[in-house]
Amino acid sequence: MIVVDDAPIGIFDSGVGGLTVARAISQLLPRESLLYIGDTARSPYGPKPIADVRRYSLEILDTLVEQGVKMLVIACNTASAAVLRDARERYDVPVVEVIGPAVRTALATTRNSRIGVIGTTGTIGSGAYQDMLEVNPNVTVFAQACPRFVDFVEAGVTGSPEVLQVAEHYLEPLRHAGVDTLVLGCTHYPFLEGAISYVMGEGVSLVSSDTETAKDVYRQLVSRDLLAGPDAVAQHVYEATGSSADDFIQLAHRLMGREVRQVQLVQTGTIDLPRTTAL
């Protein structure tokens, strides 16, 4: 017997990068409702102390659970590295993160066992990707922090000459190392995939955590009988902790087209914001 569950999937990111995950999930599971929270008031997470990232992340995840989601998706690599174990122990709903799915695909993709990983300072410093990839003793991992990439995406700048120049600077060590597979270890980075692919060259396969995470969400929903019913009408709700819903909407439009039409401002435990709606 298949159990129908029309409750939304809760998706959390430090800002707008997780919209790539939301988009991938909606494409794979068009009947599923989504509830997205971007912690734009405290973004970016990458440079922040791990204790702060953990506190912020659990705060937002608590908010999603209180709103009745059937699954949590941590669409932020820095947050995934900081709270994954805590989240799976803390909540009764299944928790999906972005690191494991990308790692599994990278290991299946590489031909020369030389894998590159790029991410925020916090993600690379945590060693989360390195630890999971190096479970395979034949794999050599080359990790590179690319902190300015998030700044570019959050500013809506994805194709400028400066982006290409910075990408060449960050990625040169990985090219020199001869990696044949590169994990985009931040959900902001798919917005810069053109520049990254150009610099790395055609012989390097890019593994993006957004599409791999969406596949994992699908597997989890099916295995747990949590799929939305055949008559379900998907509703996508976007919330942010920042001071301006208009800023979130404008940036989302620049990055993804007009998929995001409405954003609600939400109150968390440490940020006192009124709940309003901006069209």
- So which residues are the catalytic ones? 76, 186
Q: Following CA atoms 171, 192, 106, 142 in sequence, which dihedral angle do they give, to the nearest 10 degrees?
A: 20
Residue 78 is labelled as binding a ligand: yes
Residue 68: both structure tokens together: 């009745």
The answer to whether the CB of 210 falls within 8 A of the CB of 190 is yes
68 is in an annotated binding site: no
The structure tokens listed for 160 are: 């400028």
- The answer to whether the annotation marks 136 as part of a ligand binding site is no
Is 45 known to sit in a ligand binding site? yes
- List, in order, residues 6 or more apart from 11 with CB less than 8 Å away: 18, 21, 22, 25, 34, 35, 36, 37, 73, 75
Q: Consult the annotation and say whether 236 binds a ligand.
A: no
Cβ partners under 8 Å of residue 36, min gap 6? 11, 12, 13, 18, 19, 22, 236, 237, 238, 239
Annotated binding-site residue? 187? yes
- The answer to whether 36 is annotated as binding is no
The answer to the question of whether 112 is labelled as a binding residue is no
Binding site, annotated residues: 13-14, 45-46, 77-78, 187-188
Enumerate the known binding-site residues for substrate. Answer: 13-14, 45-46, 77-78, 187-188
